[in-house]
Amino acid sequence: MSDIEGRLVQLETQLQHLLDRQAILDCIANNARGCDRQDVELLAASYSKAGIDEHGTKFINAGSDYPAWANATHSASALQTMHNITTHSCDINGDEAHAESYSVGLFFNTDGKTARVLAGRYVDRLVKEDGIWRIALRRCTLEVGLVGDATIMNSDYLREMGFLRGLPNQNDVSYQRPLTLEDTPEGHRWSNPAAEGKQS
């Protein structure tokens, strides 16, 4: 093998590693997005055919069952959720990978007055099935939990600004193609009765 051929092989190997690493991170990010949008299809697609999700010993679900459990749990406990993926590392070995992703979950409680912050890690074993990376086993850690005052979400000042709020379905603005100012589904803005007349 010539030097040029050797370099091309090395570059191809490096490129494949980068493509795999990005696809793995996309899988984990899609899972987080699926939780917040309660998107059953997106959530289910992030798990392999035999995938398993462990949220503590009390909640161990097959990947195919996880969307229904997650959606019911989030709907019962929070008005809004935000799953954030932060520090991420992964070890790729052929069609199997092990990843650790730090996560910060923000939950606006159903009382409309308080919010929770739950921080931990997703420790995942992933497999490439039919060329697509999916979670074969997820084990969740919980490291820090906080409860705080969230009454600012009910303030006239904030609600009169007319910020968008996330919708737990595919009416959410993030699904709009193309994104426009004209299409704003009902319930997509934080508002109060006094501010309703000011919104378009």
Give me the long-range contacts of 147-152 (CB less than 8 A, separation at least 24). Answer: 147/114, 147/115, 147/116, 148/114, 148/115, 148/116, 148/117, 149/113, 149/114, 149/115, 150/108, 150/109, 150/112, 150/113, 150/114, 150/115, 151/113
Confidence band (pLDDT; 50, 70, 90) for 192? low
Which domains can be identified in the chain, with CATH numbers? 3-150 (3.10.450.50), 155-200 (no CATH)
Distance CA 101, CA 140 (A): 10
Place of tokens 């600004």: 161
Please give the model's pTM, rounded to 2 decimal places: 0.91
What whole-number distance in Å separates Cα of residue 127 and Cα of residue 49? 10
How confident is the prediction for the chain on average, in pLDDT?
94
| Contact assessment for residue 153 and residue 132, using Cβ atoms and an 8 Å cutoff | no
User: How far is the first Cα of the chain from the last one, in angstroms, to the nearest whole number?
Assistant: 67
- The SS3 of residue 71 is helix
pLDDT at residue 199 in the model: 39
Helix (H) or strand (E) holding 137: strand 132-149
pLDDT tens digits along 119-165: 999 999 999 999 999 999 999 999 999 999 999 999 999 889 999 99
Give the CA-trace dihedral at 181, 185, 188, 194, to 10 degrees: 90
The pLDDT confidence band at residue 92, using thresholds 50, 70 and 90, is very high
SS3 74: helix
Residue 95 is given by DSSP the state: T
